[in-house]
Amino acid sequence: MQIDVPATLGATLRGARRVVVFTGAGMSAESGVPTFRDDLTGLWSRFDAERLATPEAFHADPDLVWGWYEWRRARVRRAEPNPGHLATAEIETLVPGSVVITQNVDDLHERAGSRAPIHLHGSLFAPRCIGEDAHPADVPDTDPGDGGRIPPPRCTHCGALVRPGVVWFGEQLPIAALNAAVEAASSCDVLLTVGTSGVVYPAAEIPRIAMLSGAMVIQVNPEPTPLDRICAVNLRGTAAQVLPALIASAR
């Protein structure tokens, strides 16, 4: 699909002091990574995703919850960054000081070359212990096969169980990540919101913060979203289609 990007957007991108790229599930979907609600196939098809993604579920049946997240983590490892991820990393090179903020829990931005994306909802690749002074934990790679119960490892520091490093229902976003995202959105010239529905809060406030701070907000999405009305430009297409074209217009 040929995407026509106005030349003025390329000039705007090229002249920006700081760009924020804010990504959602649509970005990873183009690499074959399903959303967590859709990631229930095979042995997992009889489960409700929202009942697996809570602290209560983990404490009630840690082997079941850890097994599902290990299965998801293995699926992400088999995925590859798509042209949208690569173009995002190129934006960081084009406009030094730019920031990637993602709602996704995979590592595709990192593998595409983004330096330090802010993960608002945590990461499948950043497990941590459940101790009172929670800290990151190293976890050996396992092969979950078709899925099933896998006992979670113990923290080598304190002996507590290790949990997935994602934000579950009923949990707050990590305060450091949220503060960094708000600071970046408040101080950018351009914010690209890519592949996100704009309905998951508080993450959905990030484009609005940028708009209220005077930034140009550009949306990349194949479908209309609630963010349409606050965006200066709405580019209809996927990340893999639009972002490379945007980069080409900025060269």
Q: Which of 85, 109, 119, 121 is catalytic?
A: 121
d(CA 233, CA 237): 12
pLDDT on residue 111: 98
pLDDT on residue 40: 46
Q: What is the CATH number of domain 34-78+127-166?
A: 3.30.1600.10
The interaxial angle of helices 7-15 and 239-250, nearest 10 deg, is: 70
pLDDT on residue 45: 57
| In this structure, CATH architecture of domain 1-32+80-121+172-251 | 3-Layer(aba) Sandwich (3.40)
Q: How would you write the pLDDT of the chain (251 residues) with one tens digit per residue?
A: 667 788 899 899 999 999 999 999 999 999 998 765 554 444 445 567 777 889 999 999 999 999 988 988 988 999 999 999 999 999 999 999 999 999 999 999 999 999 999 999 999 999 999 976 677 777 766 666 666 789 999 988 888 899 999 999 889 999 999 999 999 999 999 999 999 988 888 999 999 999 999 999 999 999 999 999 999 999 999 999 999 999 999 88
pLDDT on residue 68: 87
Pairing state between β 122-129 and 162-166: antiparallel
pLDDT on residue 39: 47
Strand partners, 102: 23, 119
pLDDT on residue 147: 61
d(CA 150, CA 122): 21
pLDDT on residue 240: 95
Report in angstroms the alpha-carbon separations of 171 from 15, 51, 59. Answer: 39, 14, 14
Q: What are the backbone angles phi and psi of residue 154, rounded to the nearest 5°?
A: -105, 145
**Domain boundaries of the chain, sorted by first residue:** 1-32+80-121+172-251, 34-78+127-166
In the chain, how long is the greatest CA-to-CA distance? 57
Token pair 């140009």 in the structure block, residue: 216
Task: For residue 121, indicate whether it is catalytic.
Answer: yes
Q: Are 156 and 147 in contact (CB under 8 A)?
A: no
pLDDT on residue 43: 41
The interaxial angle of helices 239-250 and 83-94, nearest 10 deg, is: 30
Full-model pTM: 0.92
